[in-house]
Amino acid sequence: MNAIAESMNDTSASITNLGKKSAEIGEIIHLITGISEQTNLLALNAAIEPLAPVNMERALLS
């Protein structure tokens, strides 16, 4: 009977540790998603920025 109780305690501890690790992974994914979003915005800005003088020239000539 003690072996079953010990096994259940070990299993419970393992599940608790898995829950903690899962939460840590979730935080890392959230961080990576934020960095990815910022990178996408920077890439979009870099693509748009060279067009600004062209658009300004068009507006002045219109």
Give the separation between CA 57 and CA 48, rounded to whole angstroms: 15
User: What is the DSSP annotation of 3-60?
Assistant: HHHHHHHHHHHHHHHHHHHHHHHHHHHHHHHHHHHHHHHHHHHHHHGGGHHHHHHHHH
- Tens of pLDDT, residues 25-38: 999 999 999 999 99
Q: Please give the residue that has the higher pLDDT: either 54 or 20.
A: 20
pLDDT attached to residue 53: 81
Residue 7 is encoded by which pair of tokens?
């096994």
Give the separation between CA 17 and CA 11, rounded to whole angstroms: 10
Domain boundaries, the chain: 2-61
pLDDT attached to residue 58: 75
pLDDT attached to residue 37: 97
